[in-house]
Structure 1
């Protein structure tokens, strides 16, 4: 079998998962790692996320007097996701989360802070870590790409989408990629599938996530599920394919999102009559998407809430887009939105803000079944030798439906699987681990 190129580790996908896997594997100076990215211009889902990293037991929490741990973090996730079988994966990801948060700060120079003002449904303590300045996922990707560029044994190849896997004797031995439109066969000791999910693949969405039909899509164009298909061709198992990350605070007609902290600050959701119809604080924003899918809903908040919410890049983008409005009185707001029976809490402080919100879908959460080392499992048992998966290519930790998502789960799976896979590959090459 001949190859055009030969590397130790080939990573298909240059988002957060792929770059963390490459950086951790490349700590072994004897490994040559190549990252093949479909398109940095189109971006990845991490790029358009809030960049919030959920981690329990960090030094940032200890400095703030918050008692948390990986175990408590895992218990919170499992209480929400309705998927007890995911416990080994959830525990493995939660164990490494505080390690990579502090690694980002100490080794990569990422400006980390604990978001004490970022309350989310299901999280028993504050544990979302963000960048100072709240620039979001774009800043996180800049940090990771800068580190990859500085690593002498990592090659980052842009505009080079993967188009398939190469196998021999039931093991993956390489991948096919397109470089400048020319197919190249890359031999590799290990192939890591780190692509986005399939939320922009209409056929796969219709088959696996029909309840999301008609929802606004706020993810990236490159989420076409190719890597999942390659795994299936080799007999890989998949799991929770009907699970996706929804969002109930997408601003209708604009496509921007409002800060998920607003309901926890006291913002209210009303229907087209002006009546509240949900306990806003009891819902994660993914579950909220299902609740408001068939309603004409308006989110309303006051000036003190606004000042806190504007710390988020999501709100700054919405403000720039003109996605919410400002009103001096409840009567003025009610008239603007044609709400005939609006009654707001007496303690709301003007000026008031409002935005008409709808449901959206950002990413899928199902995918290839992997073990706690990120090894892709075969549907008949065991694992497919040489093949690893994380990020949107792998089954996440949000259970079988959109209701099981907890804020931070997506990047927890992306960076966590990248860390687990990269560390395993570096250790394997040094003979520390088998497999």
Structure 2
């Protein structure tokens, strides 16, 4: 076969997993790394996320007096997912997580522990965020700038991969489309970091029909391309019915309210004026299923000034407030009118659960529904990120991470914990990239940046 160019590592996708893989692999100056990104104009899910990094046992937690560890982190994830088969991958990611957070901070990125970011299912505060709460876009800009500083790495935009190249079952390269032409890129290792398939309606209908017709809050490039490429090589998939859902999507706006609101007293009231769930007991992914079963598949999230003060500086709340997605109600009568109920009915719905505080006027309200952000099913990998075939053997030369690989939610969306998405993406990118630096570079032929 004739090759147009040759590299040591070809990374397909320039999101969290792809950029982290490239950063770690490019530490070896003798190794040429290329990232082929479908389109930065369309964005990546990491860039539209909150950018919160879940890690147990960091120096930031220690400074805040928070007792945590990778083992405790893994235990929380497995308790939520019930996916014991995936324990080796979960433990590998949780072991890497504190090193990733501290390394990112040491590159000059402003990180702090989110002491105001409690989440359902977490037995310790472990979400780390940027000090300005500006979200994932800020983090991805920072990491891509670090990659640009490597002379042996290239980030090639508007260069979608269209297929893998294999020889005798081993992956030897990738075909990318660039400037209207196809290019065959020979590579010693190919890393699938293409995200999931939530933007492909046919695949969502096939694997997640139980979600109904949720609002889609992800990027348009999440089309599941890697599943077909790897599938032709015998790669297996698992947990295809799971997704990262959100029960915090504001109706008619598409923004989201903060997951910390329920931990600050916020309540959910359905169209019948009924409070139907213990809000603190559900993560935002599992809350989506609860909302889907409510009349009209929606409910009113209600909170007060105390809760607003505790959450308004998060990226999600800033976006919702700027979009006019939050309604202010000065009195209980005003709130009742907004709900279409009587003041007595509304007062009963707002009655605090045991041990919770009572909301006080003025109130804030947003009608929320369920949405799908990303998928959680994907390729079966081992703890080092190697893609496995139906017999459990690695497909030579092929790795996967982030949304292209099976995630951490288990077989159902209810098993997703906050931070699992970026943990899977950055964590496996870290593991794969580090592992590739330990392999000898392919000595065959000259290599150059694409």
Shared fold by TM > 0.5?
yes
Superposed displacement of residue 333, structure 1: 1.2
Superposed displacement of residue 430, structure 1: 7.2
Q: For 2:438, what is the secondary structure of its paired residue? A: helix
Structure 1 residue aligned with 2:184: 185
- Would the aligned equivalents of 2:31 and 2:441 in 1 still touch at CA under 8 Å? no
Q: Provide the rounded CA distance (Å) in 1 between the counterparts of 2:190 and 2:110.
A: 31
Q: Normalising by structure 2, report the TM-score.
A: 0.94
| Deviations, residues 250-290 of structure 1 (Å, cap 9, x unaligned) | 00110000000001111000111222100100001100000
Q: Please, which moves more after superposition, 48-57 or 422-431?
A: 422-431
Aligned counterparts, 1:270-419, within 5 A: 270-295=269-294, 296-340=298-342, 341-343=345-347, 344-345=350-351, 347-419=358-430
- Would the aligned equivalents of 2:8 and 2:441 in 1 still touch at CA under 8 Å? no
Gaps of 5+ in 2: 353-357, 443-450
| Deviations, residues 221-263 of structure 1 (Å, cap 9, x unaligned) | 0010001111111110111111100000100110000000001
Aligned counterparts, 1:9-28, within 5 A: 9-28=9-28
| Deviations, residues 304-333 of structure 1 (Å, cap 9, x unaligned) | 100111121000000111111011112101
Superposed displacement of residue 213, structure 1: 2.6
Q: For 1:428, what is the secondary structure of its paired residue? A: coil
| Deviations, residues 130-171 of structure 1 (Å, cap 9, x unaligned) | 000100111110111111111111100000001000000110
- Would the aligned equivalents of 1:273 and 1:342 in 2 still touch at CA under 8 Å? no
Query: How many residue pairs are counted as aligned between the two chains?
Result: 430
- Would the aligned equivalents of 1:76 and 1:122 in 2 still touch at CA under 8 Å? yes
- Would the aligned equivalents of 2:188 and 2:441 in 1 still touch at CA under 8 Å? no
Q: Provide the rounded CA distance (Å) in 2 between the counterparts of 1:319 and 1:291.
A: 25
Q: Provide the rounded CA distance (Å) in 2 between the counterparts of 1:233 and 1:407.
A: 33
Q: Provide the rounded CA distance (Å) in 2 between the counterparts of 1:88 and 1:53.
A: 20
Q: Provide the rounded CA distance (Å) in 1 between the counterparts of 2:105 and 2:17.
A: 17
Structure 1 residue aligned with 2:446: none
Structure 1 residue aligned with 2:202: 203
Is the aligned partner of 1:236 residue 2:235?
A: yes
Is the aligned partner of 1:72 residue 2:72?
A: yes
RMSD of equivalent CA atoms: 1.1
Q: Normalising by structure 1, report the TM-score.
A: 0.97
Structure 1 residue aligned with 2:102: 102
Q: For 1:73, what is the secondary structure of its paired residue? A: helix
Gaps of 5+ in 1: none
Q: For 2:61, what is the secondary structure of its paired residue? A: helix
